[in-house]
C-alpha cells in the first residue's frame, strides 16, 4: 500500500547563545532559503515533470545515475529531492521500495498521483527539508539524489552525506547526480560556463536573464544554487567513510559521484 507521510513537522533545534549573532544570522538565513525553495518548487509543479521527461540532458544524467546505482529487486531505496518522481518512479520498478523526500508538498502530491497511475505501491513519500530527515541506522540499501543537493550550503552537503552513511547497511551505495562546477574556475570550467551562456543566449530574453542572474553571483553560488566540484564530492564521501568513491561527467555542467559503505562496519 503506497503511503505518504505528509509534511515533516520535526525541525532541527540549534542551541544558540544570545551573543552568537553570526550563528543566529546564518541559521535564520538558511531557514528563509528553505522556505523560499519550498515556495519556488510548489509553483513549478505544473510544468516540472513534463520539462524533465522531455529533456535529453536530464534523461542522460538519470540513466547514468541508475547505471552506477545498479538497483536490485531487494533494495530499500531513498530518493533525496525526488520532485515529481523523475527518478523515483523508474527506481520503484527495479527495487523493493523507494522512500521519496522533497521540500515541496505539491511535488510530493504529484509524485503520489503518478505512482498511483503507474500502479507502484512500493513508494513511500514525505514532504520536508532534507536536513530534517531521520531514518533508522543501517536500514536502507541505496540512497540517490538527482539535481537537488546544489541547493544546500556546502556544510549541509557534508552533514547529509555523513547521515546517509549511517542510514545505509554494510555494502549499501550512495549515488549523487548534480551540478558539479568548482568555485575557482579552471580554464575547463570557464569553457563550460561560456558554452552554457551561449546556449542560454539562444533562448532569447529569458536565457539572457538567467545568465545575468547566475554570473553576477558566481563563486560559491550560481544564482540561488551552490554547486560543488567533483573534488568536493569525492572528499566529502571519503571523509564520511564511503569506499570505492568515484566520479563521472555526464554533460558539461553535471556529473555523478558514488561510493559504498564497507561490507563490515569497521572496514
Domain identity same for 233 and 193 = no
For residue 69, the domain's CATH number is 3.40.50.150
Domain identity same for 105 and 158 = yes
Domain identity same for 195 and 169 = no
Query: Can you tell me the distance from the alpha carbon of 11 to that of 172, in angstroms, rounded to the nearest whole number?
Result: 27
User: What is the model's pTM?
Assistant: 0.72
> Half-sphere exposure of 48 toward its Cβ, with a 13 Å CA cutoff?
18
Domain identity same for 212 and 244 = no
Q: Is residue 12 part of a domain?
A: no
Q: Is residue 267 part of a domain?
A: no
In the chain the beta strands, taken as DSSP E runs, fall at 3-7, 76-80, 97-102, 123-127, 140-146, 168-179, 243-251, 254-260
Q: Is residue 61 part of a domain?
A: yes
| All residues at 6 or more sequence positions from 108 whose CB lies less than 8 Å from its CB, including other chains | 4, 82, 100, 102, 125, 126, 127
Domain identity same for 86 and 30 = yes
User: How far are the Cα atoms of 60, 70, 91, 116, 172 from residue 260, in angstroms, in the given order?
Assistant: 23, 12, 18, 32, 6
Domain identity same for 38 and 51 = yes
Is 199 a residue whose pLDDT tops 80?
no
Q: Is residue 3 part of a domain?
A: no
Q: Is residue 108 part of a domain?
A: yes
Domain identity same for 195 and 166 = no
What's the domain range around 192?
A: 184-218
- Bridge partners for 198 per DSSP: none
Domain identity same for 248 and 190 = no
Cell numbers at 5, concatenated: 507521510
Domain identity same for 122 and 205 = no
- 149 touches 157 (CB < 8 A): yes
122 phi/psi in degrees, rounded to 5: -105, 20
Q: Is residue 16 part of a domain?
A: no
7-40 confidence digits (pLDDT tens): 443 333 333 334 444 443 444 444 444 455 555 5
Give the pLDDT score at 118: 97
Q: Is residue 14 part of a domain?
A: no
Query: Can you tell me the distance from the alpha carbon of 52 to that of 86, in angstroms, rounded to the nearest whole number?
Result: 7
Task: Please give the tally of structural domains in the chain.
Answer: 2
Is 215 a residue whose pLDDT tops 60?
no
Domain identity same for 61 and 193 = no
CB atoms under 10 Å from CB of 167, counted, come to: 22
Domain identity same for 135 and 110 = yes
36-94 confidence digits (pLDDT tens): 555 554 555 555 555 555 566 778 889 999 999 999 999 999 999 999 999 999 999 99
Q: Is residue 8 part of a domain?
A: no
Domain identity same for 30 and 96 = yes
DSSP code of residue 89 = H
Is 200 a residue whose pLDDT tops 90?
no
Amino acid at each position: 500500500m503506497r503511503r505518504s507521510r505528509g509534511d515533516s513537522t520535526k525541525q532541527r533545534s540549534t542551541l544558540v547563545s544570545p551573543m552568537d549573532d553570526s550563528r543566529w544570522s546564518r541559521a535564520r538565513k538558511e531557514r528563509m532559503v528553505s522556505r523560499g525553495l519550498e515556495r519556488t518548487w510548489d509553483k513549478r509543479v505544473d510544468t516540472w515533470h513534463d520539462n524533465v521527461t522531455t529533456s535529453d540532458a536530464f534523461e542522460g544524467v538519470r540513466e547514468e545515475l541508475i547505471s552506477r546505482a545498479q538497483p536490485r529487486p531487494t533494495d530499500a531505496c531513498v530518493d533525496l529531492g525526488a520532485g515529481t518522481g523523475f527518478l523515483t518512479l523508474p527506481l520503484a520498478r527495479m527495487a523493493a521500495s523507494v522512500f521519496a523526500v522533497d521540500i515541496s508538498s505539491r511535488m510530493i502530491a504529484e509524485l503520489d498521483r503518478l505512482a498511483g497511475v503507474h500502479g507502484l505501491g512500493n513508494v513511500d513519500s514525505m514532504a520536508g527539508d532534507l536536513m530534517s530527515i531521520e531514518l533508522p541506522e543501517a536500514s536502507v540499501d541505496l540512497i540517490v539524489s538527482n539535481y537537488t543537493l546544489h541547493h544546500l550550503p556546502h556544510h549541509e552537503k557534508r552533514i547529509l552525506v555523513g547521515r546517509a552513511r549511517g542510514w545505509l547497511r554494510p555494502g549499501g551505495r550512495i549515488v549523487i547526480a548534480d551540478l558539479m562546477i568548482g568555485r575557482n574556475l579552471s580554464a575547463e570550467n570557464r569553457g563550460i560556463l561560456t558554452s552554457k551562456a551561449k546556449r542560454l543566449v539562444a533562448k532569447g530574453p529569458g536565457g539572457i536573464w538567467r545568465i545575468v542572474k547566475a554570473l553576477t553571483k558566481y563563486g560559491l553560488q550560481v544564482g540561488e544554487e551552490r554547486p560543488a566540484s567533483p573534488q568536493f564530492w569525492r572528499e566529502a564521501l571519503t571523509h564520511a567513510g564511503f569506499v570505492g568513491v568515484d566520479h563521472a561527467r555526464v554533460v558539461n555542467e553535471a556529473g555523478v559521484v558514488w561510493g559504498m559503505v564497507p561490507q563490515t562496519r569497521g572496514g
